Amino acid sequence: METLSENACFGGVQGVYRHASSACKCDMTFGLFLPAEAKDGPVPILWYLSGLTCTHENAMTKAGAQGWAAEQGIALAFPDTSPRGDGVADHEDYDLGQGAGFYVNATQKPWAPHFNMWDYVAEELPALLVESFAIDADRQAITGHSMGGHGALTLAMNLPGRYRSVSAFSPISNPIGAEWGRKQLSAYLGDDEAAWAKHDASAMMKSTGFNGPILIDTGANDQFMDLLRPEALAQAIAERRQQATYRLQPGYDHSYYFVSTFMEDHITFHAEALYGE
Ligand SMILES: N[C@@H](CCC(=O)N[C@@H](CSC=O)C(=O)NCC(=O)O)C(=O)O
């Protein structure tokens, strides 16, 4: 693993690192914020999964998360959103290919050899972080924005016991029922929709749910509302009687101005779960 940068940040360190990924079969870059407490021993970690067009850098520089994480003594992981590089397939559309990995393991050409973001985020990167940094593997939580909110919710519901809490900012909530989802799931996973269900937060909520607290915020003025389909997930939460707080925030859109506004709430929410019994 190569250190690309390390900067003092709120008493801790904001680092950027690159490593050869076996899951994605290319070099991958990620950001990691370690609070001051990590000098004394392993700290809890909050994963932040980013949205379409993002790299590891967008949330790291725009979400305003480090100050709140430093107050709570929590590490923050910022993975990239897809494999990248000259030998990696891509598409001219901004919502397919590089920058749009959708947190699945692709089974279809030309994506299959590299687009394994599920394995990368669920297995490879956690193992690397626990091995290389002062991270407590037993205290993990996950959040994300838009495509990353979809990833956070589906990973949390598919991996019971892994994350103590899950939250999301304007998540893609029903990809089977919207163009932000059908396009990518058919490209990466093929036309058999049975393989899509584990990657649909509303379907997973109906079938499985989450054994822990959930917090979701979406801006009421979100310009992508019809693609996100929050109503499908809200209905599934209600039908399941799942423990959850689902808020529509008046006046807010899909941007990082919205994400940064509610970041304190989300980190406080995760801290309660990460430090509880
Ligand atoms: N290219 C489009 C839309 C891009 C966009 O809004 N991306 C969001 C995530 S959308 C869902 O996953 C984002 O986080 N962008 C990065 C940022 O720093 O804002 C357009 O430009 O309209």
Q: Looking at residue 184, what is its pLDDT?
A: 98
Q: Looking at residue 277, what is its pLDDT?
A: 74
| Minimum CA distance residue for ligand 1 atom 7 | 52
Q: Looking at residue 63, what is its pLDDT?
A: 98
Domains and CATH numbers, the chain: 2-275 (3.40.50.1820)
| Minimum CA distance residue for ligand 1 atom 2 | 94
| Minimum CA distance residue for ligand 1 atom 13 | 51
pTM reported for the whole predicted model: 0.98
pLDDT along the chain (277 residues), means of 10: 98 98 98 98 98 98 98 98 96 98 98 97 98 98 98 98 98 97 98 97 98 98 98 98 98 98 98 94
63 pocket-lining for ligand 1 (C-beta < 6 Å): no
44 pocket-lining for ligand 1 (C-beta < 6 Å): no
181 pocket-lining for ligand 1 (C-beta < 6 Å): no
Atom of ligand 1 nearest to the CA of 59: 18
- Fill in the amino acid letter for 185: L
Catalytic residues: 146, 222, 254
Residue 94 Cα to ligand 1 midpoint, Å, equals: 9
